[in-house]
Amino acid sequence: MVKRAMQQWLRAIITLLILLLTEGHPVDITYLQSAVAKGAVCLDGSPPAYHFDKGFGAGVNNWFIQLEGGAWCNNATTCLSRTKTRLGSSKLMVKTVSFSGILSNKAKFNPDFYNWNRIRIRYCDGSSFTGDVEAVDPKTKVYYRGARIFSAVMEDFLAKGMKNAQNAILAGCSAGSLAAILHCDRFKGLLPPGAKVKCLSDAGFFINAKTISGAPHIEQFYSDVVNTHGSAKNLPQSCTSRLKPGLCFFPQNVAQQIKTPLFLVNAAYDSWQIKNILAPGVADPRGTWRNCKLDILKCSAAQLETMQGYRTEFLKALNGLGPSSTRGYYINSCYAHCQTGTQETWLRDDSPRLASTTIAKAVGDWFYDRNRFQEIDCPYPCDKTCKNRNFESDVQPVDMDL
């Protein structure tokens, strides 16, 4: 049994590697050494980093910027632990990453954005690029400078040609997607007045929901993140003028006031949210949700009913944003997290579809004003195009005990 499972696992890894080789292309890392003098550094003081694949042909003046995900750290202890990983130190990041999905340079796999300048900004601050504390923690030697990183890399891109942008998108995955929402209007303000600028959130619509035990853990967690990183001054004032800063980490309290067009790609049963907001370890001490969180097919009838309730809360938060002629959304019923950066979910013959439309087509149509696209999927398990493979390549590989 163990041998057979190992063989299946190895076959899956080989298949994945083959797909990466055929559908993705390698892009080397760039360390922004000049940012260090500005205090724009990772948690451990190392320089910020990004991967930049230059545009070509008709796309030379178009810019797609993706902010990497990876959850958050909410106190001195958790932030210190991240300095020993790629999520807190550029010294520990891989030197090359594979660009695929919305970052692909092939028209077949990414017809609307393949020839743009495509950039992936690495995530190493733990605050969704919002932190800015001048003093370095004297005990841990940890820097809280996420907002400075965002400013420094944007200055670098403007100098590299983004100041002449004709089209631009600020996007992200997970915590990076939340950052794209929080920085959306600020990003637009950096670009020429005549540029078409929009923002894309992939798996970043985290909702303020209670756990299965009835505790408001994510609300307290976000409050701790904001306090630890000194994020309040970098959150949208349209929200902080009305609510406590910690509540302004929730898109449901921010997105309505964003003036720049925004597109939301999200699973109504977002696998990260189910694992870490609805049923985190602290709310499930006996581990009764462990198998369900790993594989939705292993959920009991009662657990599925609870997840249907979470979907209802998610849609209530989404509908609370009110109508918008410039906002788009693609809310499917897959058990997934981050779907634009993986070719399998972005655009392939077997990709998920909503209203007979792939995510790639929906986003492209919305950006170029061909169709604004605002669709919500039917409840699980009616959508047979979902693979429910729990895609989380851009986020932390382990659950967080919020």
Known catalytic residues are 174, 270, 337
Of the candidates 301, 297, 296, the one whose C-alpha atom is nearest the C-alpha of residue 337 is: 296
Q: Are 118 and 108 in contact (CB under 8 A)?
A: no
Query: What are the two backbone dihedrals, phi and then psi, of residue 49, each rounded to the nearest 5 degrees?
Result: -145, 160
C-alpha triplet 311, 231, 176: angle, nearest 5°: 50
Q: Name the residue type at position 373.
A: F
Query: What are the two backbone dihedrals, phi and then psi, of residue 115, each rounded to the nearest 5 degrees?
Result: -105, 10
Q: Are 318 and 149 in contact (CB under 8 A)?
A: no
Query: What are the two backbone dihedrals, phi and then psi, of residue 67, each rounded to the nearest 5 degrees?
Result: -95, 125
Query: CA-to-CA distance for 343 and 170, rounded, in angstroms?
Result: 19
Q: Are 334 and 383 in contact (CB under 8 A)?
A: yes
Of the candidates 200, 179, 304, the one whose C-alpha atom is nearest the C-alpha of residue 262 is: 200
What totals of helices (H) and strands (E) does the chain contain, helices first?
Answer: 12, 10
Number of CB atoms found within 10 A of residue 194's CB: 8
Radius of gyration (C-alpha) of the chain in whole angstroms? 20
Q: Give Cα 359 to chain centroid, integer Å.
A: 15
Q: What are the E-state strand segments in 140-225?
A: 167-173, 196-202
